[in-house]
Chain A
């Protein structure tokens, strides 16, 4: 098996005033070395909690209630805290959506990059760290890195700051980079630059990437494998090509239909009505059934499990493939 990361039945719950709610509910995924897994879904579908669970950084009152996260042969969930700390940053790094708030405004960019390096390499001299940090800035194509090293975050644009975050994340040559909506706050031209950069860096270093996004356009640019999440579960899992060429789950269809297309003029976008149900008010049966245009009585009773429709293509829908039900009902 060449999988770098193997998640099995991961469950993360939050304690609330009215009992426990499940934010991530039995998610199983894997990422191969050097490949990119895209995780797609709307706000509230559990994709960010999933990524925090992998790092064991779920904030209280949340906790991981079950499952395994096998990383390079070790179960991250049973590692002692010190060993886990060593993996964070060095083996698995993370970048977040908001480059504005992820950097400390009162320290220079250089201070913040060397801080991360020092944490994983206690013996290094200040001069050595500085030259490594400048090299890291250069690697993410920041012009004049020697000058930028002494600047503060507010002196940089959003795109620059995200590059600094990437430089910091990659400073210890991680095997896996978790990128949580890395380009959502950026302008389109900057977004394209950052995606290009991530692709190139992946090719150079052979790291695996988990890319979390709500934008299927970004998935098309980056992902080898895709998992579509809805209300804490994976509802469709397949390759980065099949998700566009052979989409199965009605939710995936809805996401595809929502994207405004540049090539054609549609009168109306195919929106999905409603919103993701909160984890304390999940509907009976299939969690998508209240918003699904193909749902029937069975969908409100039976909770569909992921099943393989084709090799490497799993879908959690009773009705899939949807063309099999044309003419039925309605």
Chain B
């Protein structure tokens, strides 16, 4: 597998100015502060973190929707941070984005057909008849019907709108799709539909996803590799299974522990970090997480930990973390792992799955 996308030391700093006439800079918000990762063809990399960690800014930097303050983004081998004009336009065909809010990201005055046709017109693909045919094909691809092309966005539910958003991203046959929290605004049941659809499309079209999310449970279903961000930096990156089996950064552990589990037998008992994420204008010295970390010691308050592979025997390749204490963190409390599902529930869910499979087989 070759790298589709290589990001090196990417940063975005926003100046903070005060004063109306004689505006002077009083500080800098380091929204993204030196992020590096790579994404292979056909692979899904998830960027996970809480609001304000810089994950959406990173996504926009990768697409060059905003200009980086430093760093390089190499897409299919070319550095795209210096591209302009025609070359940049061509590049846009190769990378597309699906936005979080399916209500705000579709123009309410355009029909779904027009919305899907617009990228084809912009990129001068096909004549009118070919474009119309492509719109029908796209609608079918995302599980909608051709007659939906005449409808307006308000006639659709949230899940259907997100399907339209996905179809629009796929219209120009991109290699990379950046998904900025594509299911966060949807109900759980609809989330599942959209997650399944995105996985199917990836398998069919060989897409690469940069998947931005705050929900680790969804990420577990989508991603091949996961990068956890905190205050503009990647604090841990690992193949999915390794990350969930043995998180090596206290922040990753906190994120995992905070997820409400559908299991009333182990109510509470979360190890939640205290307080809020500090301001990215004024991050704490040393490790940025030290103010909320239960394992913080003196070194954490003074020295910034580098992102490194911890010296742990048997650790899979590519598992890196930015923590002084990765090697000595206590094992994740396995005893609080879920008990198996109650037999009645498990039996009925299995029946449900079986019926569901049969119906899918006869329908498609």
A214: chain B residues within 8 A (beta carbon):
187-188
Q: Are B196 and A220 in contact (CB under 8 A)?
A: no
B344 interface hit (Cβ, 8 Å) = yes
Interface size class of A (residues with CB under 8 A): 35 or more
Q: Give B162-209 interface residues, CB cut-off 8 Å to A.
A: 187-193, 195-196, 199
Q: Are A258 and B255 in contact (CB under 8 A)?
A: no
B351 interface hit (Cβ, 8 Å) = yes
Identify A188's interface contact among B214, B268, B358, CB under 8 A. Answer: B214
Residues of B within 8 A of A (CB): 50-51, 157-160, 187-193, 195-196, 199, 214-218, 220-221, 241, 244, 254-265, 267-268, 270, 272-273, 275-277, 337-338, 341-342, 344-345, 347-349, 351-353, 355-356, 358-359
Name the distance in Å between A90's Cβ and chain B's nearest Cβ: 30
B192: chain A residues within 8 A (beta carbon):
257-260, 269-272
* Contact (A188, B348) CB under 8 Å given A42-B190, A270-B356: no
* Contact (A215, B260) CB under 8 Å given A221-B268, A269-B221, A270-B192: yes
A262 interface hit (Cβ, 8 Å) = yes
Name the distance in Å between A163's Cβ and chain B's nearest Cβ: 10
B220: chain A residues within 8 A (beta carbon):
260, 262, 265
Q: Are B160 and A275 in contact (CB under 8 A)?
A: yes
Identify A187's interface contact among B50, B264, B267, B352, CB under 8 A. Answer: B50
Name the distance in Å between A161's Cβ and chain B's nearest Cβ: 11
A253: nearest chain-B partner, CB-CB? B352
* Contact (A269, B195) CB under 8 Å given A246-B344, A253-B352, A322-B351: yes
B52: nearest chain-A partner, CB-CB? A157
Q: Are A244 and B259 in contact (CB under 8 A)?
A: no
A65 interface hit (Cβ, 8 Å) = no
Q: Are B348 and A159 in contact (CB under 8 A)?
A: no
A314 interface hit (Cβ, 8 Å) = no
Q: Are A255 and B189 in contact (CB under 8 A)?
A: yes
Residues of A within 8 A of B (CB): 42-44, 143, 157-160, 187-193, 195-196, 199, 214-223, 240-241, 244-248, 250, 253-263, 265-266, 268-273, 275-276, 293-294, 321-323, 326, 330
Name the distance in Å between B64's Cβ and chain A's nearest Cβ: 27
Name the distance in Å between B135's Cβ and chain A's nearest Cβ: 22
CA distance A241 to B341 in the complex (A): 12
Q: Are B196 and A262 in contact (CB under 8 A)?
A: no
New contact pairs (4) apart from A244-B345, A294-B352, CB-CB < 8 Å: A244-B341, A247-B344, A260-B220, A330-B358
CA distance A260 to B256 in the complex (A): 13
CA distance A244 to B262 in the complex (A): 7
CA distance A279 to B51 in the complex (A): 35
Q: Are A275 and B342 in contact (CB under 8 A)?
A: no
Name the distance in Å between A269's Cβ and chain B's nearest Cβ: 4
Q: Are A216 and B188 in contact (CB under 8 A)?
A: yes
Q: Are B216 and A262 in contact (CB under 8 A)?
A: yes
* Contact (A158, B51) CB under 8 Å given A268-B199, A270-B353, A273-B193: yes
CA distance A203 to B180 in the complex (A): 39
Name the distance in Å between A229's Cβ and chain B's nearest Cβ: 12
10 nearest CB pairs, A to B? A217-B260, A271-B192, A245-B342, A293-B355, A269-B192, A258-B192, A187-B50, A192-B258, A260-B217, A271-B193
CA distance A330 to B159 in the complex (A): 28
A-B contact pairs, 11 of them (CB 8 A): A42-B188, A189-B254, A189-B273, A214-B187, A222-B267, A255-B189, A262-B261, A265-B241, A269-B196, A271-B196, A293-B359
B217: chain A residues within 8 A (beta carbon):
259-262
Interface-central residue, A188, A193, A247, A293, by most chain B CB under 10 Å: A188
Name the distance in Å between B23's Cβ and chain A's nearest Cβ: 20
CA distance A187 to B214 in the complex (A): 7
CA distance A248 to B241 in the complex (A): 33
Q: Are A260 and B268 in contact (CB under 8 A)?
A: no
B188: chain A residues within 8 A (beta carbon):
42, 214-216, 255, 258-259
B347: chain A residues within 8 A (beta carbon):
323
Name the distance in Å between B325's Cβ and chain A's nearest Cβ: 20
B159: chain A residues within 8 A (beta carbon):
275
Q: Are A42 and B352 in contact (CB under 8 A)?
A: no
B355: chain A residues within 8 A (beta carbon):
293-294, 330
Identify A257's interface contact among B255, B275, B349, CB under 8 A. Answer: B349
Q: Are B255 and A217 in contact (CB under 8 A)?
A: no
B221: chain A residues within 8 A (beta carbon):
260, 266, 269
A199: chain B residues within 8 A (beta carbon):
268
Q: Are B215 and A188 in contact (CB under 8 A)?
A: yes
CA distance A155 to B51 in the complex (A): 15
Q: Are B158 and A258 in contact (CB under 8 A)?
A: no
Q: Are A195 and B260 in contact (CB under 8 A)?
A: yes
CA distance A83 to B215 in the complex (A): 44
Name the distance in Å between B221's Cβ and chain A's nearest Cβ: 5
A266: chain B residues within 8 A (beta carbon):
221
